[in-house]
């Protein structure tokens, strides 16, 4: 079986980058992708078809970016590394919020229909920076058919300021209702100061939620709290 993650091209003791030019879920258009030993064969085909990679959460040395590659199906996912000098363009999820796939016939797919409904009717989204990630975001950035009729719509909502449980519940309820009417499901991740948190978890009222961070997942009572004791 092929590995799902390439070895890091730097020593574990290397200084880690805090470069803010790219963030988790940003899509990077690359002029070149290093080929580590043991890379699955499909990665080269995928990169030739669409020279894009998605930024993932992982510590990286200066000049190196942790990225993920998408293949033709769910089984084809590979965590690897790009060099900062090879980045041609950085595209954030919010850049796609008003976009459509180039092929008109694909606009009726449930994930894209849901996206259209949300941008027109989801009042609770207004005031947030947000956009599609996952297969919908990838297709909108690359114009390579990626979304299927069964694809969910993945969303990222940037929440630098505290989102109350009541606000989260209202947001979750409205988005799910719109998605249901459009014939799809929506999976929302909040981008908080502590990392990525599932909206469904924060709205559920559970005492601690999982925050996905470059240093690893953390169980937190409040992803917006600054006290170390919250971990």
Of 79, 64, 74, whose CA–CA distance to 17 is shortest?
64
Nearest C-alpha neighbor of 33 from the set 10, 57, 51: 51
The DSSP bridge pattern shows strands 209-212 and 195-198 to be antiparallel
Q: Of these residues, 152, 166, 187, 222, which one is catalytic?
A: 152
Q: Which tokens go with 18?
A: 């805090």
Number of H helices, E strands in the chain: 5, 11
Annotation marks residue 85 as catalytic: no
Cα–Cα distance measured from residue 189 to residue 159, given in angstroms and rounded to the nearest whole number:
10
- Region label for 75, one of left (φ > 0), alpha (ψ between -120 and 50) or beta (otherwise): alpha
Q: Looking at 154, 166, 187, 222, which residue is catalytic? A: 154
- 26 is an active site residue: no
Q: Which residues are catalytic?
A: 152, 154
């Amino acid at each position: 079986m092929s590995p799902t993650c390439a070895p890091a091209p730097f020593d574990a003791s290397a200084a880690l980058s805090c470069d803010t030019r790219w963030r988790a879920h940003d899509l990077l258009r690359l002029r070149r992708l290093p080929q580590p030993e043991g890379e699955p064969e499909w990665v080269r085909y995928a990169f030739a078809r669409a020279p894009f990679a998605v930024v993932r959460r992982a510590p990286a040395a200066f000049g190196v970016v942790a990225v993920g590659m998408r293949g033709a199906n769910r089984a084809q996912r590979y965590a690897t590394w790009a060099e900062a000098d090879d980045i041609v363009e950085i595209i954030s999820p919010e850049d796609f919020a008003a976009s459509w796939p180039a092929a008109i016939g694909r606009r009726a797919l449930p994930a894209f229909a849901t996206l259209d409904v949300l941008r027109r009717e989801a009042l609770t989204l207004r005031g947030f920076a947000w956009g599609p990630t996952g297969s919908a975001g990838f297709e909108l950035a690359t114009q390579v058919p990626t979304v299927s009729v069964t694809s969910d719509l993945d969303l990222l909502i940037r929440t630098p300021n505290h989102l109350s449980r009541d606000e989260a519940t209202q947001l979750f309820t409205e988005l799910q209702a719109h998605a249901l009417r459009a014939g799809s499901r929506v999976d929302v991740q909040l981008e908080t100061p502590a990392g990525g948190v599932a909206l469904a978890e924060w709205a559920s009222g559970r005492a601690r939620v999982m925050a996905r961070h470059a240093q690893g997942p953390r169980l937190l009572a409040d992803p917006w709290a600054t006290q170390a004791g919250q971990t």
